[in-house]
Structure 1
Amino acid sequence: MRMTLEHAYGIQGDRLWRTIQELGLIGADSSGGVTRLSLSPEELEGRVYITKLMKSAGLEVHRDEAGNLIGRLAGSRPDAAAVVTGSHIDTVNEAGRFDGALGVLGGIEALRAIKEQGIPHERPLEVVCFTDEEGIRFGAGYLGSRAMAGDWQSEWLDFTDEEGVTLREAMESAGLSPESVWKAKREAGSIHAYVELHIEQGKALEHRGEPLGIATAIYGHCWLDIRLLGEADHAGTTPMNLRRDPLLAAAESILAMERIAVQHGGVATVGKLGVKPGSTNAIPGEVRFTVDIRHEDASILERMTQEIERHIVTSGKTREVEVHIKHTDSGSPVAASESLLHAIADGCQLAGVPASPIVCGAGHDAVAMSRLAPIGLILVRSKDGISHHPAEWSSPGDCEAGVNVLLHTLIILANQQNT
């Protein structure tokens, strides 16, 4: 069934905005932002809120073995492959209110509107609140969506956070069985399409003057954990030529990353840096830092990673520093499905919202879900491109526009006749 402009529907923008503000109070911190690390007490409280919201929207709710919260709205063909939307509510430290949360709350609002307005749809519709998209607490992201897509790795259970808590322990504290996470895998063919609504987290849409973008591809990424071991010594009594300073090796490597990223048209970021013993008058003996490397081309991403690793090793040898490199996470670039690009474009037309193609630089659960189903991604304009920060902001009008496009896209996909 192809929708026409006479069949346009809409969500309740005020209700959507209220839920964004209510969820934003859970995990509110002293920075003025939100901190809801995955499986933390704050994030678990947020899950209680999401569960209540799903139920109040008239959805059937359950939690799978990976901790993903799933709200389902039956269709007239209950055995047909489902159309799925969703995102996450876990955050980085001192984050904003929109990253991930808009996709979950917008999905709930869209399904609520479909149920309230009695909008015909053949396929079942689902909204998912995924477990641990960000990956910052334990060093591996997309955990819930990877489990659903059948890409679960049991070694992740032994990853630890900064307090020494393992993922296994955090899951057990949340009432989950770590050894059963693999059971969250959905069968091939069970999902017809996955479409995600997310803030852009960049400046392109604002520069264009457009409220929404239709992502044609998502950057691939590689995460590294680097540990450099030198020799701690007195800062005043140790001559420069006799030092084995791992911080200098790290500094050389970090500057090299910038050159490599610019050369290849990608990005490379050191987001965490730790120095021991951390005294003003002591030469560091150990340095540990993370590297986040991204590119839309898989071969170039691999080349960037190899060049960065090679430079770290070379700097370590030159300065007689021991080098340890650990790959903690990775994801290949993902292209959006042509059929979903068309469905979203039709959804934009029905909602009366202009949007144009854009490449998405941030990773999302859609990356993992692409192993399971065709994916599409709707991006909402971010003020000043700010994200992962208390100043993160998308206007009420842009959020409403994004969810209205999601609503129409879901209706279009839910009424497609192919299996």
Structure 2
Amino acid sequence: MSFHGMWAELLPVGRSFASGGYRRFAWTGADAECRAWFREQAESRGLAYEADRNGNQWAWLGDPAAGDAVVTGSHLDSVPDGGAFDGPLGVVSSFAALDELRARGARFTKPLAVVNFGDEEGARFGLACVGSRLTAGHLTVEQAHRLTDADGVTLPKAMEAAGYDPEAIGPDPERLARIGAFVELHVEQGRALDLTGDAVGVAGAIWPHGRWRFDFRGEANHAGTTRLVDRHDPMLSYAETVLAARREAALAGAVATFGKIAVEPNGVNAIPSLVRGWLDSRAADQPTLDTVVTGIEKAAREYAAAHGVDLDVVRESFTPVVEFDHALRDELARILGTGGGDGRDREIRVPVLGTGAGHDAGILSGSIPTAMLFVRNPTGVSHSPAEFAAEDDCVAGVRALADVLEGLACT
């Protein structure tokens, strides 16, 4: 099946008619449809299919036990009302690249696999890259078993309901030891390629990033009878902190976002007793990120004190800077810059990009050599229905991935 045929099959799965975005959350019906689609693609190509102990799906060409395998792929789940390209473009392009290599008559000297990592977005259980984190040992079994969704359903219960054994999850060093390289293709989450005029780029590094929870605790009271001067309103401190986050990020050339909030008692006519906001901040380097978050917390404490509000700040997650394997990154740039391994006479200028978004390739980078390719996104928008990649650019991404895989896994 062609890239376009695969894309058309996946397009309606988990799509919201109201928003036009996708709700492919881990271990739900939409996720099961995506998993069934992956298995069908694997088996229709004569690939050996398996789901590992952590629910990640694999499609193998060659003997998985032979070692030094070249793996490509991404994920199929989404954020709430996310776009069509984040994740699925990498999986569809991987199957399409394999088809391209077979059409070229490529001779594989290493095992090749396409992978769909489970629960990459973390939309349901609040933690990104669960499948790859478990595999790499970055998430313990105990921590995973404590993950709970908004309805109180635990990860083990969700996996069990979907037909997977939650007692089997855990680190998988034997599998990782058989992988010589992992290359993930992804739609760019930004406009760097659009600004340079390039269809495809190579990832250089993932910015350090983290999530912090700010709990502003004040005093609930009647919105209509409590004088302004008598209030201990945590919403004011929170609102001022949101503005401080924008200011600190702009000064440092970083990004900072309060994108999630919970309010108690959450009544129109009630002054809140608690405002809980989640900060996401990212920067090109660790010192800059530290400066931004420290500045935001300092401002938040000053605002809280001014309004008679208590403040607790908890770092819920953090990922340091990820430098992709330099040798593999440079090899990708060399392959693409010399026209790939198919004998076509062309030269391509290959930009190397930093990114503020996390990926499975970043999680695995401490265990195996990893690299990434980005496909141009002219809107610069991601995690939204407006996310987009033009048809010609998607095809260019498939060809670039095929060139890379040929250079890494074929004679």
What is the TM-score normalised by the length of structure 2?
0.91
* SS in structure 2 at match of 1:309: helix
Report if the CA contact (8 A) 1:152-1:181 is conserved.
no
The 1:300/1:158 distance shift into structure 2, 3 A limit, reads same
**Counterparts of 1:407 and 1:172, CA distance in 2:** 37
* SS in structure 1 at match of 2:49: strand
2:106 to 71, 96, 119: 119
1:157 to 132, 145, 157: 145
Are 1:369 and 2:358 counterparts?
no
Report if the CA contact (8 A) 1:232-1:283 is conserved.
yes
Kindly state the Cα deviation for residue 27 of structure 1 after the two structures are TM-superposed: 0.4
1:217 to 193, 205, 211: 205
Counting only pairs closer than 5 Å after superposition, residues 181-196 of structure 1 correspond to structure 2 as 181-186=169-174, 189-196=177-184
Kindly state the Cα deviation for residue 245 of structure 1 after the two structures are TM-superposed: 0.9
**Partner in structure 1 of residue 286 of structure 2:** 298
Kindly state the Cα deviation for residue 16 of structure 1 after the two structures are TM-superposed: 0.8
Report if the CA contact (8 A) 1:148-1:186 is conserved.
no
**Counterparts of 1:361 and 1:65, CA distance in 2:** 30
**Counterparts of 2:200 and 2:367, CA distance in 1:** 26
**Partner in structure 2 of residue 350 of structure 1:** 339
The 1:180/1:318 distance shift into structure 2, 3 A limit, reads farther
**Partner in structure 1 of residue 343 of structure 2:** none
* SS in structure 2 at match of 1:379: strand
Kindly state the Cα deviation for residue 314 of structure 1 after the two structures are TM-superposed: 3.8
Kindly state the Cα deviation for residue 232 of structure 1 after the two structures are TM-superposed: 1.6
**Partner in structure 2 of residue 379 of structure 1:** 374
Kindly state the Cα deviation for residue 252 of structure 1 after the two structures are TM-superposed: 1.6
* SS in structure 2 at match of 1:388: coil
Kindly state the Cα deviation for residue 325 of structure 1 after the two structures are TM-superposed: 3.1
Counting only pairs closer than 5 Å after superposition, residues 122-141 of structure 1 correspond to structure 2 as 122-141=109-128
Report if the CA contact (8 A) 1:58-1:112 is conserved.
no
* SS in structure 2 at match of 1:404: helix
Are 1:144 and 2:131 counterparts?
yes
**Counterparts of 2:321 and 2:280, CA distance in 1:** 14
Are 1:315 and 2:303 counterparts?
yes
Kindly state the Cα deviation for residue 209 of structure 1 after the two structures are TM-superposed: 1.4
**Partner in structure 2 of residue 403 of structure 1:** 398
The 1:132/1:192 distance shift into structure 2, 3 A limit, reads same
* SS in structure 2 at match of 1:378: strand
| Unaligned stretches of 5+ residues in structure 1 | 1-11
Counting only pairs closer than 5 Å after superposition, residues 9-408 of structure 1 correspond to structure 2 as 15-29=2-16, 30-74=18-62, 79-115=66-102, 117-153=104-140, 154-186=142-174, 189-348=177-336, 349-350=338-339, 352=346, 354-408=349-403
**Counterparts of 2:65 and 2:163, CA distance in 1:** 30
The 1:115/1:74 distance shift into structure 2, 3 A limit, reads farther
**Counterparts of 1:202 and 1:121, CA distance in 2:** 34
Deviations 1:30-85 (A, max 9, x none): 2122211222221121111111112112211100111100111116x962311111
Report if the CA contact (8 A) 2:67-2:177 is conserved.
no
**Counterparts of 1:233 and 1:125, CA distance in 2:** 63
**Counterparts of 1:215 and 1:71, CA distance in 2:** 24
Moved more, 292-301 or 402-411: 292-301
Give the counterpart letter for 2:402 in structure 1: L
Report if the CA contact (8 A) 1:141-1:329 is conserved.
no
Give the superposed CA RMSD: 2.1
**Counterparts of 2:72 and 2:176, CA distance in 1:** 17
**Counterparts of 2:112 and 2:291, CA distance in 1:** 40
Give the counterpart letter for 2:367 in structure 1: L
* SS in structure 1 at match of 2:267: coil
Report if the CA contact (8 A) 2:206-2:362 is conserved.
yes
Moved more, 349-358 or 30-39: 349-358
* SS in structure 2 at match of 1:27: coil
Moved more, 55-64 or 330-339: 330-339
- Share of identical aligned residues, percent? 37
Kindly state the Cα deviation for residue 117 of structure 1 after the two structures are TM-superposed: 4.7
Give the counterpart letter for 2:355 in structure 1: C
* SS in structure 2 at match of 1:26: coil
**Counterparts of 2:154 and 2:295, CA distance in 1:** 31
Report if the CA contact (8 A) 1:331-1:367 is conserved.
no
Kindly state the Cα deviation for residue 186 of structure 1 after the two structures are TM-superposed: 4.0
**Counterparts of 2:150 and 2:217, CA distance in 1:** 19
Give the counterpart letter for 1:395 in structure 2: A
* SS in structure 2 at match of 1:25: coil
Deviations 1:91-121 (A, max 9, x none): 0111111111011111122223334554112
Matched residue pairs, number? 402
**Counterparts of 1:307 and 1:176, CA distance in 2:** 44
**Counterparts of 1:74 and 1:284, CA distance in 2:** 60
* SS in structure 2 at match of 1:222: strand
**Counterparts of 1:144 and 1:363, CA distance in 2:** 14
Kindly state the Cα deviation for residue 323 of structure 1 after the two structures are TM-superposed: 2.7
Kindly state the Cα deviation for residue 321 of structure 1 after the two structures are TM-superposed: 2.4
